[in-house]
Chain A
Amino acid sequence: MTQPVFAYIVYEDGVADDTALEMLTAAAKLNPDASISAIVAGSGAGLDAVCNEIAASYAQVWKIDNEALAYVNAEVLRGMLARILPQGCIVLAAHDHFGMDLAAGLSNKLDAAYLPDAVDFEGIENGKLKAVREEYGGQVSTHVLCDISKGAVVTLRPGSFAPDESKSAGGQVLDKTADAMEGGLPGGARRFLEVVAAEVGDVDITKSEILVSVGRGIEDEDNLEIVSDLAEAMGADVSCSRPIVDAKWLEKARQVGTSGQTVKPKVYLALGISGSFQHIGGIKGAPFIVAINKNSRAPIFQIADVGIVDDILDFVPELTDKINEIKG
């Protein structure tokens, strides 16, 4: 089987996203014999820089260069990709805020299967791709079979495939703009206006060395006091998972994760946080992670260094008392 594989690559400030090299590994794992091409869309000097960077890793780079893509609107891009992608191909994209916007609808336009948020591949049998996914916020894993015989769009969980750093492709860049624009600019019913930056908070948790991070397991706003008491005893700052911000118990600037802050502390204490990939995605620099959770099978225990299975409402005040006692 020789279905061509395409990886859609996002970039910022002229630098390709980390997932560009992860998709290369994923594509090779999917089908070692397939031809693997990258697609990059945008405009101007940044786009050319990324195409050249990516050509070191991909044998072929398809470039779509248009001013209307200075900020890439998924609605516009989807229309363009539907015009240029060959029937029956396999398209890879990252399962992030952009991939989630683009991919599901693209699969319809290509009349292909859609496999969202794959974390691993286990081979192809009889036109069916066997892949691993997770459900219930990572509490269980599943094997799925995806019929790729008529093509597929697959989004990959960022960080799940190791980056291929070999950079030995010596690839070439092909300009596909004319084909993508044939018939005019698509996607006009959704028009990009601007990006509004998130509000800055009173602490900058990206600079914190020690973070005491609280999740939905805290159960009630009033209980947050035990968390700030512990943070004070440790000399730490308080951060949190998304539901705490959604409930307006803490400000957005304290949210750790892919739609919040990326933190690089030395020590990260996760209290009542399950460990969804969007949360973990915001923790970088391999800190020492301690997780306290009453569910012994919470996914956070897979990435923590040290785990404690207990109720935070009981455990945390006792820990705080003990630290204060020692400090005198």
Chain B
Amino acid sequence: MEILVCVKRVPDTSENEIEINKDGSDIERDDLVYSVNEWDNYAVEEAIQIRDNVGGSVTVVSVGDEDAEEVVRREMAMGADKGILLSDNAFEGSDGRGIANILKAEVAKGEYDLVLTGAQADDGAGQVGGMLAAMLDWPYASLVNSLEVVDDKTIKVGREIAGGNLEMNEIDLPCVLSIQTGINEPRYVGIRGIRKVASIDIPVHGAGDLGITPEAVGESGAKVKRIDYFTPELGEGAEILEGSTDEIIEKLIELLKAKGGIK
């Protein structure tokens, strides 16, 4: 099975507290630690497991600037066979539709049976996979949390719905799936693994290579544009307990007792 996995480089929210810059035009990017979008690691792990079971190859692709190369390389260290970076000044400022358009052009250059994305990325949109499928006119299933290859034309997927129940579907290949966390346990990548793939060449494809008209993507093609960042006014918000740890604990125990929180 030929599998393409779409991965995005994002600020790592477990390593950073996200702050807004002075004029609200962006988040504070100095000293941010970036990593692969959490969901995408599960997608790559799933692709590797499928390949190891039924054969084929795994390609990872990312749309981004030259820094995105590091996440492609990291996923190759996990075990993906190939990596591709889609990068061009014309891609800057793309909305979800633009990203899907760029990815679609890359998909069209290959012969993939399966395209995987994460369920969502840092802006919580969850849009690229569904758009990509619609553009390719391939079937789509989101929030996939179990996957079984039936034969070379069909797979069986479980979509996670309310309450953690699984909606089982049979779906024809080629198709696009968005992968939900928990479907597997992504393997650990150590420094040694990264070193092994350090010198592998990662091709970069730009608008010209992909046959994309620059106006269709980037700022100019975007129908949805972020205009600023802000901190919402916190309605009531929590009463923050202050003082020494002993004082805080004393106050907290008093409150818990009053609310029936200590049996």
Chain A residues proximal to chain B, CB less than 8 Å: 71, 73-75, 95-98, 100-101, 103-109, 113-117, 130, 132-137, 139-147, 187, 189-198, 209-210, 216, 233-236, 242-243, 245-248, 252, 255, 258-262, 266-267, 269, 274, 288-291, 295-297, 301-310, 314-315, 318-319, 322-323, 326
B172 proximal to A (CB < 8 A): yes
Please name the residue on chain B nearest to A304 by beta carbon. Answer: B238
Inter-chain CA distance A126–B166, complex, in Å, is: 43
Q: Take A259-B160, A310-B245 as given contacts and tell me if A140 and B18 are in contact as well, using a CB distance cutoff of 8 Å.
A: yes
In the bound complex, what is the Cα–Cα distance between A195 and B169 (angstroms)?
9
Known: A139-B17, A142-B228, A322-B249. A107 touches B131 (CB 8 A): yes
The reply on B193 being an interface residue by CB < 8 A is no
Cβ contact within 8 Å between A114 and B224: yes
B residues within 8 Å of A by Cβ?
Answer: 11, 13-14, 17-18, 20, 27, 96-97, 119-120, 122-131, 133-135, 138-143, 156, 158-172, 175, 178, 180-182, 185, 223-232, 234-235, 237-241, 245, 248-250, 252-253, 255-256, 259-263
The residues of B that contact A302 with a CB separation of less than 8 Å are: 232, 234-235, 237-238
* Minimal Cβ-Cβ distance residue in B for A209: B260
> Given the complex, which residues of B lie within 8 Å of A306, measured CB to CB?
238-241, 252, 255
Question: Cα distance A193–B166 when bound, in Å?
Answer: 11
B17 contacts across to A, CB distance below 8 A: 139, 295, 297
Chain A residues near B135: list those with CB within 8 A: 108
Task: Say whether, besides A288-B259, A290-B252, A96 and B162 are in contact (CB < 8 Å).
Answer: yes
Q: Is the CB of A104 within 8 A of B130?
A: yes
- Given contacts A136-B18, A189-B171, A290 and B256 within 8 Å (CB-CB): yes
Cα distance, A73 to B142, chains bound together (Å):
11
A107 to B143, CA, bound (A): 19
Q: A190-B141, A198-B165, A235-B262 are in contact. Are A137 and B255 (CB under 8 A)?
A: no
Contacting residues, chain A, for B178 (C-beta < 8 A) = 100
The number of A-B residue pairs with CB atoms under 8 Å apart is: 265
Question: Which residues of chain A are near B168, meaning CB under 8 Å?
Answer: 192-196
A96, closest chain B residue (CB)? B162
Residue among A105, A137, A198 making CB contact with B131, cutoff 8 Å? A105
* Interface hub of A198, A216, A245, A306 (most chain B Cβ within 10 A): A306
With both chains docked as a complex, state the minimum distance between the C-beta of A79 and any C-beta of chain B, in angstroms. Answer: 11
Question: Is the Cβ of B224 less than 8 Å from the Cβ of A115?
Answer: yes
* Known contacts A136-B13, A190-B141, A190-B172, A114 near B127 by CB under 8 Å: yes
